[in-house]
Every structure is written in structure tokens, then in C-alpha cells.
Amino acid sequence: MLDLIVKNGTLVTADATFQADIGVQDEKISVVAAPGTLKEAKRVVDAKGKYVMPGMIEPHMHVAAPFGGTIDVLDFYSASKCAAFGGVTSFMDFSSTVKGMSVLQAVKDRREEMSHAALDYGVHAKFVEANERVIGEVKQLIDYGVPTFKMFTTYPGVMIEDRDILEVLKEAAANGGLCGFHAESNPIAEFNRDNFAREGKLDWKYFPEAKPNACEAEAVQRILTFAEYLDAPVYFFHLSTKESMKLVREAKARGVKVLAETCTHYLTLTKAKNDGPDGVLYLMSPPLRTKEDQAALWGALQDGTLSLVTSDNEAFTREQKESFLDKDANGKPIIDFRKPVNGTPGLEERFGLMMAEGVNRGRIGLNKLVELCSTNPAKVFGCYPQKGCLDVGSDADIILVDPDKAVKLTKENLHYGLQYSLYEDFEAKGWPVMTIRRGEVLVEDGKFLGKEGTGRFLKRAISR
């Protein structure tokens, strides 16, 4: 007997929409059959009137990640809950590598922390330097199931020198790895930060100006040049500007092996949000941009210049962000964009935002949503077709979406426990009402049923 049948639903995958029933056995999809043909199972879920999609995959988030002397509010179990409510069944985070450390050990440490998750999880390896030891670990990491690496072109401490980037790129390319970048120009960011301070321009609203479009574009251009020179594949995390879209589009046309993502906040918010007393809540790097940039990002999703939409989730309370500010003689905080920790929540909101601003507005279709938030994350980060599709033999990661359910993205409707939502004004029509991971129901009737430590490590490999 089957463990589970999901019947009468409309299956929505990256490339098709059709009526079918799904049968699950031993955590995997064992059969996809014509409606009404699957009869017996330990549990039958009626998905009549619902969309049935592969579980969403979040490959870019920061949870339990010490940053700037503080730490975000989630751990991997509470993050599993927020994510599952947002239709996510697998997620990936980054090793907390520091200089002088074994990258493989940093990955193993992170794997241990992530083992508290209720979702399946992968780890990306962060490289902060290239010496003989860590370069020697590149192949070991790939064999261990961690073929995706991250490097920062800014933030002294985690920033890696350009010369070292070349070493990691070369070794990763030779062994089937993929290097991803946080691409911002450290010289431009530091130059502006210091000059803006001298000019007294430290209000929140100056933050986007201090890291202007050129700040991103300079680093993107540099990494693309490295990639092209070494014929090495590269990935860009969180691209936010029209200039980057042009650079990536042109590089792809030249045959450079480049893939890129943007994040939900760049698709839905603009830098106008930094103007005013709540501006502190909207500090993330890269910063929010203009309507024009936003339109370029949607265009790049439509034409394939961008392959993924992620959240770059790192959730802090308002008090945490403001705790970094100095106080004046009266104890009033002195606004200074240089001080607060950067980062915003998004793990739970991604699906709703892509419905509200993408599907509901006719910018993308449902199949494209699945492609951007599930199938492509699985393909790009090396866990397809185990994840990211509804094929026979794939893990039974399935979400049911009620197309008529409208939900506002208010703080009350989200599960972070934060006293704010960045998306109070957004309403999504079409909302995940059931989340199933490897055949186990994690969310049903507004309740989280996931158990701590039931997630499994994803051993990934990039197909070539």
C-alpha cells in the first residue's frame, strides 16, 4: 500500500500544468497517474481545486549566523517553521569560515548546526582566503557533497583578495565546483562611507547612495572578467541593478558560464523605503534600488538572464539593528547608516511575494515561479532531480497551493515573531496551505507539525 496519495490536484511544474494524482512510497514519489486511478494509501489528501507544486528551495539564507557582533533571531528549527509556512522544503546556508581555518571543518561544523532543521539542508562553503591547505580542500568538499562555494568582494574579515579568487576559481572549475559571489566593490563602498561621514550624510536614506549601482557593477564586471579569462563557471548572489543585468546578459551571449539570482526585496521594494524613521529596517546589502532597476530585474527573469529568486534571509529585531547606534546627551539614538547590522527577513515571504508581484500582476506565470524558486535552485546547486520536480523517483517534497486564498504579508501572518513586517502592504492571492517534505506533512491547517532534527543533509553534485 502507498504511504500517501495526493489526488485530484492540478500539478504545476517548471514546464507543464496538468491534472494528475501522485503516489508516495518510502519518502519518494513512486507514481504519477491519471486522476482517480490511485485508490489505496495510508493517507489520502484531496487536492481538488488546489495547485500541487514541488516544494520550494531556498538556497540563499543566513540563519544562526553571527554578524557584526550580533546574531539573527532564528535557529534552524524555527527557520524550518517559517520556511515551511512559505512552501519551502529544502534550504541551504553557508559555512562560517574565518581565516586560518579548514574550510572542510567549517562546513562540517555548519552541517552539525543545521542538523536541527526539519527541512532537508545543504551547506555552501565560504572561502575567505586561498592557501595550499584550503585549495587542497576544494576537491574534498566536492566529494563530500558541497560543490558550491561563496566568496565576498567586500566586508574586510570575510573579503577574499582578488588573487585568491583566481586560485579558488581555477581549482573549483577543474573539479566540478561552482563559485558564487557577493559582488560589491569594497573600494567604492569604503570611499563613499568615509566621504559621506565627512559631509554629515549619514541618514538611512543615504545608504543606497553610498553603495550605488556602480558599486555592484564594478565587482560584477571584475568577476566576469576572471570567469571569462579562466573559462570558469560563476554564480552571482543577490544582483540588484540594471547595470548588472546588462553585464550578465552580454557575458552569457559571449559564452561566459554565468548564472545569477536576484532577491524578492529588490523585485518588490525601492530605496524610497530607506527614507524616514523606519529606514533602518530596510538596510540590506546590496541596498534597495529604483523602479527602473526593478523593471530591469523582472525583464531579466523573463528573458532568462536571471535564473533564481532567493530571499537572502537574515532576520533581526528592530532593537538589534538600533542597538548599534551611539546616543546623544539626551540618550536619543544618533542615526548613522554605517552602524546597524545589514539583513532582512524573507524566507517565509518569498512565495507570497512572487505570487503578489509576479503571478498576480501577470509578470510571470505559475510555471516560471516553480522554475525560479524550486527547479532552478535544485539544478544550479546540484540536487536535481532529487529535489525541484514532481518526477517518479524524486523526493516527495510537495506543496498544495490554494489559488483563492488571499493573505496579507503582515507581521501577524508571518512566523518570525518580529514586531514588524517589511511587506505589510502586500497581499498575495494564492497561498501554500500544505507543505510535505519526503512524504511527511510539515504544515497543515495553519499548524506546523515538523519535528526538530528530521531534516537530512543534501549531498550535492553539479552536473556538467
For Zn ion, the binding residues (CB under 5 A) are: 312
For residues 372, 377, 380, 381, the Cα torsion angle rounded to the nearest 10 degrees is 170
Nearest approach, Cβ of residue 273 and Zn ion (Å)? 19
Nearest approach, Cβ of residue 314 and Zn ion (Å)? 7
Q: Which residue, 58 or 312, is less far from Zn ion as judged by CB?
A: 312
Q: Which residue, 32 or 65, is less far from Zn ion as judged by CB?
A: 65
Q: Which residue, 149 or 431, is less far from Zn ion as judged by CB?
A: 149
CA-closest candidate to residue 90, choices 402, 373, 361: 373
Nearest approach, Cβ of residue 84 and Zn ion (Å)? 21
Nearest approach, Cβ of residue 86 and Zn ion (Å)? 17
Nearest approach, Cβ of residue 316 and Zn ion (Å)? 13
Q: Which residue, 65 or 449, is less far from Zn ion as judged by CB?
A: 65
Burial profile 92-120: b = 16 or more Cβ within 10 angstroms, e = fewer: bbbbbbeeebebbebbebbbebbebbbbb
Between the CA of residue 211 and those of 185, 189, 192, 194, 401, what are the distances in Å?
A: 8, 6, 7, 12, 38
Nearest approach, Cβ of residue 114 and Zn ion (Å)? 16
CA-closest candidate to residue 4, choices 48, 54, 42, 36: 42
Nearest approach, Cβ of residue 347 and Zn ion (Å)? 12
The residue whose grid cell reads 539570482 is 261
Asked whether 110 and 93 are in contact (CB, 8 A), the reply is yes
Q: Which residue, 184 or 312, is less far from Zn ion as judged by CB?
A: 312
What's the rounded Cα separation, in Å, for the pair 90 and 121?
6
DSSP assignments along 351-412, one per residue: HHHIIIIIITTTSS-HHHHHIIIIIHHHHHTT-TTTSSS--TTSB--EEEEEEEEEEE--TT
Q: Which residue, 8 or 376, is less far from Zn ion as judged by CB?
A: 376
Nearest approach, Cβ of residue 398 and Zn ion (Å)? 28
What's the rounded Cα separation, in Å, for the pair 180 and 260?
9
Between the CA of residue 36 and those of 16, 48, 174, 396, what are the distances in Å?
A: 20, 11, 50, 19
Please name the amino acid found at residue 316. Answer: F
Between the CA of residue 330 and those of 201, 324, 333, 334, what are the distances in Å?
A: 22, 17, 9, 10
Nearest approach, Cβ of residue 312 and Zn ion (Å)? 4
For residues 27, 30, 36, 37, the Cα torsion angle rounded to the nearest 10 degrees is -140
Asked whether 457 and 115 are in contact (CB, 8 A), the reply is yes
Backbone dihedral region for residue 287 (phi beyond 0: left; psi -120 to 50: alpha; all else: beta): beta
Q: Note if the bond before 212 is cis, omega within 30 degrees.
A: no
Q: Which residue, 266 or 431, is less far from Zn ion as judged by CB?
A: 266
Q: Which residue, 154 or 454, is less far from Zn ion as judged by CB?
A: 154
What's the rounded Cα separation, in Å, for the pair 345 and 416?
8
Q: Which residue, 312 or 348, is less far from Zn ion as judged by CB?
A: 312
Nearest approach, Cβ of residue 187 and Zn ion (Å)? 21
Q: Which residue, 137 or 312, is less far from Zn ion as judged by CB?
A: 312
Nearest approach, Cβ of residue 229 and Zn ion (Å)? 26
The residue of the chain with the least Cβ separation from Zn ion equals 312
Q: Which residue, 167 or 312, is less far from Zn ion as judged by CB?
A: 312
List the beta bridge partners of residue 56.
88
